[in-house]
Amino acid sequence: MSTTSQPSPTIAAPRPLPTDLFVRNMWAGLAISVMWLAVLFDALFGPDLVFTSGGATNSTTIPSAVVVALFAWLATKAVAKHGFSGSERSP
């Protein structure tokens, strides 16, 4: 007497996410936009940096958005260099 075995059911592979979701240029542009939106909101609602020297006679006031904009500019350069470069890393 011989027996036959049934083939095991195969599990379907999960559907891959659309490749457009992971486009490097889109994420780099979104990151840069969010950085500069942070600068905008800091300029509108953020406090000022007040520096005084020797008492209340000499006082300097700088908006905090100036400092945030400096770091956003540096980050924009870094993200743009990495995100908008023409070479794609292969997995």
**Pair of tokens at residue 73:** 């500019």
Task: For residue 90, name the pLDDT band (cuts at 50, 70, 90).
Answer: very low
- Rounded Cα distance between 37 and 31, Å, is 10
> How far is the CA of 72 from the CAs of 26, 50, 81, in angstroms?
18, 21, 14
Reported as a single tens digit per residue, the pLDDT across 3-50 is 777 777 777 777 776 665 568 888 899 999 999 999 999 999 999 999
The SS3 assignment for 20 reads: helix
Q: What is the 3-state secondary structure (H, E, C) of 42-85?
A: HHHHCCEEEEEECCCCEEEEEEHHHHHHHHHHHHHHHHHHHHCC
